[in-house]
Amino acid sequence: MSVETNSAGLVSVVVPAYNEARGINTAIRQMAGILEGCQSNWEIIVVDDGSRDATYRNICELSEQEPRVKAVALSRNFGKEGALLAGLEYAAGDAVITLDADLQHPPGLIPDMLAKWRQGAQIVHAVKRNRNRDSMAKKATAFCINKIISGLGGININNSSDFKLLDREIVDIIVYQLPERQRFFRGLTSWLGFTEDYIYFDVDDRLEGESKWSVWSLLELSITALTSFTSLPLRIVTFLGIATLLLGAGVATDAVLSYMKGQAVSGFATTIITLLLIGSFIMISLGIIGEYIAKIYEEVKARPLYLVKASNGFAKAPTSRQ
Ligand code: UDP
Ligand code: MG
């Protein structure tokens, strides 16, 4: 990978967008302006993730004025992970930058990312310096999940974001060589290795509207993140089993000793507590095992992560891995 090739190369910007009609024009214009200032050859690919508003129409209109802005419309809302993957598949760039449509990932950092890429970084991670704009619940969930995955999955995703620059080699690996359906883009890009570099940014307020993540979709993503990077929860099941066994042994010894001393075996409360404890351990364990089985089921079904309904501005659709 020579420096000359990089500076001459095409840079793609992939923007997943779900119901972003109100702000998308401003955001894309801002991104285009910044790209224009630092890179002659660029394209912006907006992936409309099944929006119910005018997002796709707006991008198509922009695309008429500026053919380097292209659009892909998914057949329904597949979630950000699917939209990101679709964008990576359509992107033709020697470097591909992924960023949000709401300007919470400041496009002003694109020149810095490109500079790091030109210096040889194959993945540039943009790391959040603050999370002041996130709700307490989101901060807490993100903190726990990131800590667990970083600690156990052997990858560092603390304060990481989906704002990244990926070299073509990395994009091809993500698109063609990673067979899994359950995807956690942030984790996967950290797991890959290669030459990484980091830049830091403050999370701005959303340009328009509200966060598209519901508590449920965040929970889903967290479970996918956990199950794809660590099997520790399964081991917890084993530990719960051992803990229950020890507890049972303790209670049994106590009962036998009391019996030998001729005392009445103490009672009812202990039995109920033990039953409830063991009952909940079993339910939790089944739940954990169930989550892993559900993920295996998803993988075995091997359904595509997204379906494309329409696209605008591409000479031809990419050869899909799906
Ligand atoms: N997004 C998407 N599909 C979804 C949810 C979100 O493509 O199902 C996009 C959204 O339009 C935005 C980005 O993913 O460009 C990040 O979403 P959001 O700003 O709602 O998340 P937050 O910044 O709160 O993490
Ligand atoms: Mg956002």
Give the model confidence (pLDDT) of 162-206 as tens digits: 999 999 999 999 988 887 877 788 878 888 888 889 999 888 777
Tell me the per-residue pLDDT of 283-316, one tens digit each, with 9 for 90 and over: 888 888 898 998 888 888 888 889 999 888 787 7
pLDDT number for residue 273:
75
Same domain, 260 and 221: no
- 190 with 262, same domain: the answer is no
Q: What is the mean pLDDT of the chain?
A: 84
- Closest ligand to residue 20's CA: 1
**What range does the domain containing 143 cover?**
11-229+305-321
pLDDT at 108 over 70: yes
Q: Is there a contact between 208 and 102 (Cβ–Cβ < 8 Å)? A: yes
- 149 and 51, same domain (yes or no): yes
* Cβ atoms 162, 183 nearer than 8 A: no
The answer to whether residues 311 and 280 belong to one domain is no
Q: Are residues 141 and 285 in the same domain?
A: no
113: CB partners within 8 A, 6+ apart: 97, 124, 126, 165, 199
Whether residues 239 and 314 fall in one domain: no
Residues 209 and 121 in one domain: yes
| Whether residue 185 sits in one domain with residue 88 | yes
Rg value, the chain, Cα: 25
Residue 92 has pLDDT above 70, yes or no: yes
Instruction: Decide if 65 is inside a domain.
Output: yes
Task: List, edge to edge, every strand of the sheet that includes 95-98.
Answer: 196-202, 123-130, 160-167, 95-98, 11-17, 42-48, 69-74, 308-312
pTM above 0.85, yes or no: no
Number of the ligand closest to the Cα of 217: 1
Total domain count, the chain: 2
Query: CA 139 to CA 67: how far, in whole Å?
Result: 39
Tokens for 216, please give them: 């449920």
Task: Report the Cα–Cα distance between both ends of the chain, in Å, rounded.
Answer: 28
DSSP state of 98: E
Summarize pLDDT for 45-62 with one digit per residue, the tens.
Answer: 999 999 999 999 999 999
Residue 87 to residue 135: CA distance in whole angstroms: 28
211 CB near ligand 1 (under 6 Å):
yes
Identify the pLDDT of residue 4: 41
**Structural domain includes residue 1:** no
Q: Is residue 247 part of a domain?
A: yes
Instruction: With a cut of 70, say whether residue 121 has pLDDT above it.
Output: yes
Residues 20 and 117 in one domain: yes
Q: Kindly state whether residue 4 falls inside one of the protein's structural domains.
A: no
Q: Pick from 15, 59, 51: which is nearest to 34 by CA?
A: 15
Mean pLDDT within 246-259: 82
From the CA of 211, how far away is ligand 2's center (Å)?
A: 6
Residue whose CA lies nearest to ligand 1 atom number 17: 212
Does 102 lie in the same domain as 192? yes
Asked if residue 84 is part of any domain, the answer here is yes
The ligand with the least distance to the CA atom of 186 is 1
Whether residue 95 contacts residue 35, with contact meaning beta carbons closer than 8 Å, is answered with no
Contact 167, 117 (CB under 8 A): yes
Is residue 280 in a domain?
yes
Residue 6 in any domain: the answer is: no
Are 205 and 251 contained in the same domain? no
Task: Give the helix/strand (H/E) hosting 125.
Answer: strand 123-130
| Ligand 1 proximity of 80 Cβ (cutoff 6 Å) | yes
Share of the chain above pLDDT 70, in %: 92
- The three-point CA angle 197-202-203 to 5° equals 110
148 and 32 in one domain?
Answer: yes
Question: Which residue among 80, 131, 185 is best mutated to probe the pocket of ligand 1, counting the most ligand atoms within 8 A of its Cβ?
Answer: 80
- φ, ψ of residue 178 in degrees (nearest 5): -100, 110
For residue 132, tell me if it sits in a domain.
Answer: yes
The domain spanning residue 145 has which CATH number? 3.90.550.10
- In the chain, the percentage of residues whose pLDDT exceeds 90 is 35
Q: Pull the structure tokens for residue 2.
A: 């020579």
pLDDT value of residue 100: 93
Please give the average per-residue pLDDT across 3-30, as a whole number. 83
User: Quick one: which atom of ligand 1 is closest to the CA of 17?
Assistant: 11
Q: Taking residues 124-136, what's their average pLDDT?
A: 78
